Chain A
Amino acid sequence: MLSRLTPYFLVLPLISFIAVFTYIPIASSLNLSFREWDFLSPTMPLVGVENYRLLFSSHEFWNSLKVTAIFALVSVPIRLGLALLVASYLVREVLPSRILRGALFLPSVTSTVSIAVVFSWLFATDYGMINAFLQTLGLGKVPWLQDPQLALGVLIIVNTWKQLGYDIVIYIAGLQAIPQELYDAAAVDGGRKGRVFRRVTVPLVMPTTYFLLVVSVIEAFQVFTVVDIMTKGGPAGATDMLVNMLYRIGFTLFDIGQGSALAVVLFALLTALALFKARVLGRRVHYEA
C-alpha cells in the first residue's frame, strides 16, 4: 500500500507548488472575471458575463488580438528559420563556434528592461543612433516608434534579437542528436548540401522545431516588457498586445473584472492553440531517425 502511494508523495511538493502559483490564480481569475472590482472596494459584486460582453464589444480587444496575432505570425517563423540556419553553421564543436554561441546566447540572459531601454534610445527619431547613422548616409529620419506601420516591426526585431540565442542553443542540441551515418549515407548517394538539409536535417530536427514552436508562440502571446518600455502599446494602439492591454485595464484603469476576463480569454486562446498544434503538427513529428 505504502509503496503504491510513494510516487504520489514524491510529486506532492511540486504539485502543491504548481497549485499555489498556477491553478489557484487561474481559478481566482476565472472568479474575478464575473465580478466588478477595482482592487480597493471591500465588495466584489457579481456581474455575470458583463465583463466578457464589454470586452468582446470593444474595438481595443479586437485590435489587440490582431496585433498579437501579427506579432506571433511574423516573429515566430523568422525566429525559428534564422535560428535553424545559424545553428546548422554553429553545430560543429570548434572554438569559434563555441564563442559565437556564447555571444548569441548573451541577449537571452540579459534583462529585458535593459534591452528595451537601449533599443528605445537606438530607435529614437530625433536623438537615436540609427537615424543619426541614416543621416550620415544622406537619408532622412525614420519615425521608428511613432509610425504605426513601423513600430510593431521594431518590436519584432528587438524580440527576435533577444530570443534568437535561446532558439539556436536548443536547435544545436537537436542537430547534434542526428546520427552522423545519415549524413555519410547522403554524401555517398551524392546529395547536395541544400537537399540534405531539406531531406535529412529538417525532418529529423522536427521534434526540436515542434518544441520551439509551442514555446515561442506562447512567448509571443505573452510579450509585455518590451512593449511596456518601448511603446506602451502605441502609437495609436499599433503595438497594443494582449498582455499590455490586460495590464492597462487591470493596473492603470482599475478594472480587475474586465482584466481578469481578458486573462481567461488569453488562457483559453493559448490552450486552443496548443491543442491545435498537437493535433495538426504533432503527427508530423518523428522522434526516431
Chain B
Amino acid sequence: MLKNLKKLLLAGLIGLSGSISAAQAEVTVEFWHSFDGSGGEALGKIIENFQAANPDIRIDAQFIGNYNDIVTKLQAAIPARRAPDAVIMEVTRYGLFADRGVLMDLTEKVNADPLKDDLFDFAREVGVFEGKNYIVPFNSSTPVLYYNKEIFERAGFAEEPALKTYDDLLAVSKQITEKLGDEGITGIAAPGQFARWGLIMDNDSDLIDSKTGEILIDSPNTIEAYEWMASLVHEHKVASADGVTKENNGRDAFLASKVGIMLNSTGNYGRSKKALGDNLAVRPMPCNKVCAVPIGGAGIGILSSADKETQDAAYKFISFAASPESNAIWFAGTGYMPINKHTAEQPLAAAAVQDKPGITVAIDQLDFARGRPRPPVVTWMRATEYDMWEAMALGQREPAETLKDFADRTRKEAERTN
C-alpha cells in the first residue's frame, strides 16, 4: 500500500515538473486587435495556424474595439503598466506612440526578415515613421464606392450611371431619394472619416501634406470638398443625418438595403457581400479633380515594455501574419488588400478573385493611392475632425469658417505636440 502510494507520489511529481517546464517554455503574447465578425474569424484562423506551427508560443488575442478604442485604452494602460505585448495600430495614429518611445523600433528585425522584399512598396511604407520601422502592415485598405444594384434598378437606372465626379454622385443620390424616399431609402450614406479623407484627395487636396507636414485643412479645395459633403446631408437631404452623429449608422443602413451608395473602406467588402449578395457592386472612388485615394488600415506594433523573449515571439507572429498564406486568408475573408506580393499565388486568394466580383477594386486603385501623414498631431486632428464635420453636416456652422478655425487649432496643437 505504502509502496503504491510512493509510486503515485513520484508519478505525480514527475507529471508536475513536466507541466511546469512546459508552461515555462511557452511564451504568451498578449495581442490587442480591433476585428470582430468576418475579420475576427479570419484573424482567429491565422492565429490557429501560427500556434500549430509554433507550439511554444501562445497568442492571447483580445478584441478591444475600433481603432479609437485601442488608442484610448492603450494610453491608459501604459502608465498603469498593463499594456499588451503587441497591438494593432491604425496607420495615421501610431506616430505619437512611436515618437514617445512606446513602440519598439522594428527596423533591425524588418531588415533581417525576408518578408521585407515580399511586401508591396505601399505596405512597407505605412510602417515607417521618421525613417524607422514601427509597425508591420497587416490590414491595408483604400476607400471604394459600394452600391446596391437592386436600389439602382428600382430608382430607374437601367444601366450603370456615371459615378466619376461629385456631380455624378449627387445626381444619382437625388434620383434614388426622390423615387424611393417614401420607403425610407436614401441616396447615399453620409461619408465616414476615411471616405471624407478620400473625397478630399479626389478634390486634389489633403488634410495635412504627407511630405511637408503643412496643414491643408483650410485650403480652398479642402473647403470645397467639405462644402459638397455637408450639402449631401444639410442642403440636398440625400444622406441621413443619423450617419453623421453615428458613423456606423450609414454603413448599417447600407447593409440593410436602406441606402443606395456607400463610400467606405474595402475592409467592409466581406460584410457587405454577406448582406447584399449579388446585389452588391463595387467601383473605384470618384475622381472629381484628380484620381487619388488614401491608404488606410493598420499594422501590428510591439510594445517597448515587453520583455525580449516576448518581443521576439511577437515579431515571429506579426511576420507570420504578413506571410502570403496568412494574407490570403485575410484577403479572402475580409476584402482588405493583399500586402504581400505572393498572396495572389495562393489558391485561396485566386479563388476569392474569381468568385467575389469587386474584391479587386481596391487593388486597382493602388496606382493612384497616396500615403497619409502620421506626425503626433494627427491623432488630435482626427479626434477633433468628428466634431467639426458634425457641425458642418448638420448645418450648424459654415464650412469655410469652421475649417479656418480647425486649421488654426491644429497648427497650434502641432506646435505643442510635435
Q: Which chain A residues have a beta carbon within 8 Å of chain B's beta carbons?
A: 38-42, 120, 124-128, 143, 145-146, 148, 231-237, 248, 251-254
| Chain A residue nearest in CB terms to B240 | A126
Query: Of the 9-residue stretches B2-10, B266-274, B328-336, B380-388, which lies at the interface with chain A?
Result: B380-388
Contact across chains for B394 and A127 when beta carbons are under 8 A apart: no
Contact across chains for A145 and B245 when beta carbons are under 8 A apart: yes
Contact across chains for B396 and A126 when beta carbons are under 8 A apart: no
Task: For A253, give its contact among B100, B384, B390, B394 (CB under 8 Å).
Answer: B384
Measured between beta carbons, the chain B residues less than 8 angstroms from A127 are: 184, 240, 242, 249, 253, 258
Contact across chains for B186 and A126 when beta carbons are under 8 A apart: yes
Measured between beta carbons, the chain A residues less than 8 angstroms from B394 are: 146, 235-236
Task: For B380, give its contact among A41, A128, A254 (CB under 8 Å).
Answer: A254
Task: For B391, give its contact among A40, A145, A236 (CB under 8 Å).
Answer: A236
Q: In the complex, which of the residues B72, B102, B245 has the most CB atoms of chain A within 10 Å of its own CB atom?
A: B245
**How many of B's residues come within 8 Å of A, CB to CB?**
34
| Chain A residue nearest in CB terms to B182 | A135
List 8 A-B pairs, minimum CB-CB distance, nearest first: A40-B100, A126-B240, A236-B396, A39-B75, A146-B241, A252-B383, A236-B391, A234-B390
Task: For B242, give its contact among A42, A126, A232, A252 (CB under 8 Å).
Answer: A126
List 6 A-B pairs, Cβ < 8 Å: A40-B100, A125-B240, A232-B386, A236-B387, A253-B383, A254-B417
Q: In the complex, which of the residues A40, A42, A143 has the most CB atoms of chain B within 10 Å of its own CB atom?
A: A40
Shortest A195–chain B CB gap in Å is 48
Shortest B412–chain A CB gap in Å is 11
Contact across chains for B249 and A41 when beta carbons are under 8 A apart: no
Whether, in the assembled complex, B194 has its beta carbon less than 8 Å from a beta carbon of chain A, the answer is: no
In the complex the two chains form, what is the Cα distance from A127 to B186 in whole Å?
Answer: 11
In the complex the two chains form, what is the Cα distance from A124 to B242 in whole Å?
Answer: 6
Shortest B66–chain A CB gap in Å is 13
Apart from the given pairs A40-B78, A146-B245, A252-B383, 18 other A-B contacts in the complex at a CB distance below 8 Å:
A38-B75, A38-B96, A38-B100, A40-B96, A125-B242, A126-B242, A143-B241, A146-B394, A231-B245, A234-B245, A235-B391, A235-B396, A236-B396, A236-B397, A251-B75, A251-B76, A252-B72, A253-B384
Shortest B388–chain A CB gap in Å is 10
Given contacts A145-B245, A146-B394, contact A39 B79 (CB under 8 A): yes
- A-side interface mostly: loop
Measured between beta carbons, the chain B residues less than 8 angstroms from A125 are: 240-242
In the complex the two chains form, what is the Cα distance from A173 to B27 in whole Å?
Answer: 57
| Chain B residue nearest in CB terms to A124 | B242
Shortest A267–chain B CB gap in Å is 20
Shortest B165–chain A CB gap in Å is 26
Measured between beta carbons, the chain B residues less than 8 angstroms from A39 are: 75-76, 78-79
Contact across chains for A126 and B253 when beta carbons are under 8 A apart: yes
Shortest A187–chain B CB gap in Å is 54
| Chain A residue nearest in CB terms to B259 | A126
Shortest A113–chain B CB gap in Å is 13
Given contacts A40-B78, A40-B96, contact A254 B396 (CB under 8 A): no
In the complex the two chains form, what is the Cα distance from A252 to B184 in whole Å?
Answer: 35
Shortest A51–chain B CB gap in Å is 12
Contact across chains for A254 and B241 when beta carbons are under 8 A apart: no
In the complex the two chains form, what is the Cα distance from A39 to B417 in whole Å?
Answer: 13
In the complex the two chains form, what is the Cα distance from A251 to B78 in whole Å?
Answer: 13
Whether, in the assembled complex, B379 has its beta carbon less than 8 Å from a beta carbon of chain A, the answer is: yes
1/0 per residue, CB under 8 A from A, across B244-266: the answer is 11100100010000100000000
In the complex the two chains form, what is the Cα distance from A38 to B376 in whole Å?
Answer: 11
Measured between beta carbons, the chain B residues less than 8 angstroms from A42 are: 101
Measured between beta carbons, the chain A residues less than 8 angstroms from B406 are: none
Measured between beta carbons, the chain A residues less than 8 angstroms from B380 are: 253-254
In the complex the two chains form, what is the Cα distance from A125 to B258 in whole Å?
Answer: 13
Measured between beta carbons, the chain A residues less than 8 angstroms from B379 are: 254
Shortest A155–chain B CB gap in Å is 13
Shortest A170–chain B CB gap in Å is 34
